[in-house]
Structures are given as C-alpha cells and as structure tokens.
Amino acid sequence: MFNNKTVLVVGVARTGISTADYLLKNGATVILNDSKNKEELKDVLDNFSNKDNIEFILGRNPSFHELEKIDFAVVSPGVPLDLDYILELKKVKKEVISEIELAFRASRQKNMDFIGITGTNGKTTTTSIVGEIFKASGKETYIVGNIGNPSIHAVDIGGEKSVLVTELSSFQLESIEEFKPKVSTVLNLTEDHLNRHHTMENYTNAKARIFMNQNVEDFCILNYDDEITKKMAENCKATVRFFSRKNKVENGIYLNEKNEIIINDKGIESVFMKAEQLSLPGAHNLENCMAAIGMCISYGIDKNVIKNVLKNFKAVEHRLEYVDTVNGIKFVNDSKGTNPDSTIKAVQSYNEPIILIAGGYDKGSDFNELFEIAKKYVRTVIVLGQTAELIEKTAKNNGIEEIYKVNSMSEAVQKSFEVASENNVVLLSPASASWGMYNNYEERGDDFKKCVESLKRK
C-alpha cells in the first residue's frame, strides 16, 4: 500500500512507534523525527536496529532540504501544526495527517468500521463503555485512539469487518481529511487547550471535524443540553440523534420525570431502563451512558446487551477511581481530570468534605467557575505544578482559605493525610494537564496511588 513512499513520522512515543512499524511492514521508507536526542531515545531506537528503510532526525526539526524527499507526514497529536517545517510541507502541497487518518485509510482494505467519540469531558469513560458493549455483542472490537492504544496497530492485527471504538482529541481531529466514522458523538464542549487553539471557536471547529465526512447513512449523537453541541446539528450531514438529561427530545434519548431513560424514535417512545440501574454514579456519567446508548442503538446493537453492560460496567482507571481508605479517609484518583470542567464534575460526585489536590501544566484555563462551584464541596486545596499559584489565587478569591502549596505528589498526599479528618475525601483531580511533571495522566495517577499505598506502611 505504501510501496515507494517516503513518510516523515513526527514524534517517537507509543503512537509514532506503531505508525513507523506499520509503514515499514507495508513497504514505506520512514524518516523518524523527534525533538529528543539519540541518547534520550536509546531504548526506543533499539526496536528499529535491525530494520531497513528507516532514517532518523533527532534532537532537531527537519530542514527544508530534508523535507524535499518525503511524500507525506504523519504527526503525533502533541506536535503543534504551526511549526515552520509543517507549514512548509503544507505550502508545497504535501499532506500532513494524524495517525487516526492513516489508520482509517489503511482500514478500508479490511472493511473496518470506526466509532468516533470526542468532547471535552467524558471521552474515556464513554469510549470504554461503548467498547465493552460492542465486545459483549460478539463483534471483534478494539478500543483505540486518545485512550492510549494506537489505532494503526489495531488495523494491523484486526480481522475483516472488525470495529475500532476510537477516542478522539481535538489535536487528532485537526489532521484528518477522509476519516469517516459510522457513528460519532460530541459529548460536550467547554474551554480546553486554548494555549494551542487560542479561541473557543477554533477548538469547537476542531471537534466538529469528527462528522465533517459523514452522510445521512451515518449517525451523530449530540448533547442537547450543551448549547454548542446542540447547534452543531445545523451543519451535520449525518442522521442526528440527541441525548438529554434535562429536556425531552423528539429523536434520541432523554431522562423523564420518573428518572427513566427514554428512547424516542421519531415520536415512538419506550422506556429503556431506570437511571438508578446504571452502575456508574453521577450526572456526568448518566450523560455518558445516554450517549453510549444512542451510539450503540444507532449501530444496531441488541438493547439487552447494552443494558447488561451498563448495569455492570466498572469505573475507568484514573477517572473517579477509588484507591483506598486509610484511617477513615477515602482516597480517589481522578488524574484524568485535566481541565476545570472535568474537576467540577468530580467534586460534585461526593457528599463528604473534599481535600482537593490540583495543579499541573498550564493550558490557558480559567479556574474561576471551578472554584465558584467547588467552594460548596471543597474544604482544603493542595496545589502543585505550573498552575499552582493561579489555582491558589483563584481559590482564595472564591473564599477557600485553607490552601497548601507543595512540590511533589508525595508531599501532596502526605499533607492531605495530615489535614484530612475521618470521612473526608482526598481527591486528586488536577484540572490541569500532566506535562512538565509527568509524561501523561496515567503516570500521574499511578504515582498518586503509590503514594497512598505508602501511607499504610508508615
């Protein structure tokens, strides 16, 4: 498929490695590029030591001269698209695509279906739920994308007509051209990643690309209660179904006054299940589950299969994950809470007083709304990372007085343990990205869990 093609792969992390592997297997010459140098990437480069047709540009950006020989580039999500050499590639009409786009093109050989899930919050939980429903229905299913599993690897190992349930970030969607999911959803939209997108309009437009290639034979599930996603229906060519926790909808899924989840299929209504039967707590998870119902029904999954998974689904790791109770203090890992809106949903999930551990990489977020709401739930804030001072200032302005600044996760956990009382909840929900202190939110959450475990040994 890629014989005689020279491909620049930018970013030597999990996605970049899988992309390079796939391209090499399928006849391409690969130029692997990363800002890290050879020594920093030694373990990774060892994987390619016995492979032909691969070159390396490490510790720097490619020169314009080096770009002349490439046919197209596959760029990792974390790489900004306004770098000089990427702009030069586009100027000379050479494609710059994401790994998701590459996987979609390659998947056509096996007639695979993509299910696409995006939004600001709830993506990982919804992707996991939908993936488990598809698996329970007997379909060969791969849960991929921003959730941490490269889609190109699933395309490589997957069988004919398998399904890729795909979590999609705005970064990934920026670099698609032909990508077309059979069913898509935009769960919600609040300010996030404005350090990259600069405006909410740009961020919204990036998310809307998920359905730009869909047609009336495809389905798009949108949140009726979110004004931005509701308005997206006006420019969506797919068959739109809404989900709503607050309003009755004419075509989709909604919650009635009896707390029943209702399916309304063009005016024909039926009770699907009671909301209290869902295994996951919280209003945000109710919305995630309704979106999942809409997606799975639209694809044609049996309703009894959907119900059974929703009744038994366990929480996703790093998303309101119960860790342990030490001396009557409950510790909860919500490292996936990487923006203020996600942390709002986290603090609203508990009735007990909360000691909130927050802070990390600065994505340009505004924390005012978070602490206007959080002051009802949070008695103490422990801050760390690049956003520590801004979070401290915002929390104080909203009337939270007990705030501690620390330099590491171990200090944060120890301080929270010292100030917490029995029946309090220590909640790691940073409202910030992990970069600068950790490689990803999983690593941050794992560190939190290790620190909690160490409390029991003291």
Task: Round to whole Å and give the CA distance between 186 and 175.
Answer: 17
CA 87 to chain centre: 26
Q: Tokens 């063009």 appear where?
A: 266
* Region class of 288: left (phi > 0), else alpha (psi between -120 and 50), else beta: alpha
Contact call for residues 405 and 383 (beta carbons, < 8 A): yes
| CA-based nearest residue to 167, from 16, 325, 291, 334 | 291
| CA-based nearest residue to 125, from 431, 307, 342, 438 | 342
CA 158, 163, 167, 173 torsion-angle sign: positive
Extract the annotated binding site: 119-125
Task: Round to whole Å and give the CA distance between 244 and 55.
Answer: 51
Query: Long-range contacts made by residues 296-304, C-beta under 8 angstroms, separation at least 24?
Result: 296/130, 296/133, 296/134, 297/263, 298/183, 298/219, 298/221, 298/239, 298/241, 299/113, 299/115, 299/134, 299/182, 299/183, 299/219, 301/133, 301/134, 301/137, 302/137, 303/272
List C-alpha distances in Å: 217 to 112, 113, 213: 16, 13, 11
Task: Round to whole Å and give the CA distance between 187 and 126.
Answer: 9
Amino acid letter for position 107: S
Extract the annotated binding site for ATP: 119-125
Tokens of 270: 């039926």
List C-alpha distances in Å: 356 to 319, 389, 421, 429: 15, 15, 13, 7
Residue environment code for 297-314, b if the CB has 16+ CB neighbours within 10 A, otherwise e: bbbebeeebbbebbeebe
Task: Round to whole Å and give the CA distance between 78 and 362.
Answer: 15
Amino acid letter for position 192: D
